[in-house]
Amino acid sequence: MALQHGTSEPEPTREQIDALPGTTLLEFGTSWCGHCRAAQPHIANAFSGHPQVRHIRIEDGSGRRLGRSFGVKLWPTLVFLRDGKELARVVRPRTDDAVETGFVAIDPRTPS
């Protein structure tokens, strides 16, 4: 799978996310958020070591149900899932290592 550069349209439902098999990174944020833009190189660098992980970018904001169902309050929020279950969360990552901690939680192929 590849790092997703655009957002998912239409936004998936919580039920669809909960039913996803395998490993998934949900990235909540907006295109205009400075913190989101600053985190992109860190997300891309960490993701490059985990190409089998599904990446879904969600444009978040007022009235967006999926972000509320995950309790997202700050952007970007990265939610790491295995078989639809949240195993890790990283908020406003500022380093590649910060993002990597989430991948370690969901990806059994990550070396210890």
Q: Mean pLDDT, consecutive 10-residue segments, the chain of 112 residues?
A: 70 96 97 96 95 95 93 97 98 97 87 57
Give the pLDDT of residue 111.
61
d(CA 46, CA 3): 10
Kind and range of the H or E run holding 84: none
Indicate the domain borders of the chain. Answer: 14-106
In CATH terms, is domain 14-106 a member of 3.40.30.10?
A: yes
Instruction: Give the tokens for residue 95.
Output: 């380093």
Kind and range of the H or E run holding 43: helix 34-47
Tell me 98's DSSP state.
H
d(CA 23, CA 61): 25
pTM of structure: 0.91
